[in-house]
A = this chain, B = another copy of it.
Amino acid sequence: MEETQTNVRLYAFEKLRELAANILLKAGFTPEDARVGSNVLLAADLRGIDSHGVARIPGYLRLLEAGRANATPDIKIVHETPGTGVVDGDKGLGLLSGPYAMKLAMEKAGNVGTGWVAVRNSNHFGIAAYHAMMALEEDMIGVAMTNASPIVSPTFSKSRLLGTNPICFAIPAGKQPPFVMDMATTTAANGKLEILQRKNEKAPLGWMQDKEGRPTDDPCIISKGGALLPLGGDRIHGSHKGYGLGAVVDILSGVLSGANYGPWVPPFVAFLNPLDNLVGEGIGHFFGAIRVDAFRSADEFKKHMDNWITTFRKADTIPGEKEVLIPGDPERITEEKRRKNGIPLLDPVVENLKKIANDFDIPFSF
């Protein structure tokens, strides 16, 4: 994400979070839910995942207006064992059921070493990293994943059967910042396409195919029946592995929880209707918490993680590159900058928020 574009204005983090919370309140959220939801959204804006932050508020509101999402969900545990749980999100946003389920996973990890919680009957949960990183504060490894609207084709197929199905691992370190891998299981996340669309640029081959399954560099191909490709891009470069990973995320999030899966995952956009013959409830997520000291002392582990991180960071680089990055480095650096300088928002995003604030009679003062 380039921060140097001159046509992008910066907005103070705290004020933007307050605006998001006020909007959610007016949309019917309880004050506590508005606080949690706005935290999850702003985490995306801070970390540079601009497609998953306040820019997505209008989309969430349309889901609520269409009755596809519930502003006051009664989120509850419907099944549990000492180390596992299934949570029903009551058609609320995953912005809320995510933190609820992650807390439950951490509680269970406290008791038996690890905790794993599947969520059904949910909607989009923001960035996976927010949820997984909750575990870091208690010296746990956090895991978060979700299925999503089907816009990805399995290897050899032209059908859209999977979402970008992200998976995140957040692993604590000692003096070093934590290791945070948060990745779509596709070659490129959908947000990358949006950037190219705005710039009117072509995409690299290996990211997408057209509706006949032919390679394409058209970043608008999804709206023309095309599909994103699993990580690997094509069979010879391992796309069956990206497909397999996306499938595992779909099965743990959807099949294990009792949510929809595959082509039945309801679309995020409110103007597209879910299929008639649904196989589960809403979309699904899967969370895990692994207590480090259920394996070895947390101090020992974190000392070795520091060694792991510094070893990789100082590795020799290929020509043209300055430094080997640790997963989570780019997002952390972006967060540091944006907390200080503000969050860059595109004018259309700001216009949408201004209109919502106006409709809801909320002050919009930047």
Residues of A within 8 A of B (CB): 79, 81-84, 86, 111-114, 116, 118, 141, 153-159, 161, 169, 171, 179, 181, 183-188, 204, 206-207, 209, 212-214, 231-233, 236-238, 240-245, 247-248, 250-252, 255-258, 261-263, 279-280, 290-292, 294-296, 300-301, 304-305, 307-308, 311-312, 315-319, 321, 323-325, 327
Contact = CB atoms under 8 A, between A and B. Distances in A.
Contacts of A301: 255-256
A213 to B, nearest CB: 3
A204 B237 contact: yes
A241 B183 contact: yes
A45 to B, nearest CB: 21
Contacts of A280: 304
Contacts of A292: 256
Contacts of A279: 304, 307
B86 A296 contact: yes
B318 A251 contact: no
A325 B156 contact: yes
B83 A112 contact: yes
A327 B240 contact: yes
Q: Which of A185, A212, A242, A318 has the most CB of B within 10 A?
A: A318
A253 B301 CA distance: 12
B304 A113 contact: no
Contact of A244 (B112, B183, B244, B258): B183
B79 A295 contact: yes
A287 to B, nearest CB: 12
Given A116-B114, A305-B255, A236 B204 contact: yes
Contacts of A187: 232, 237-238
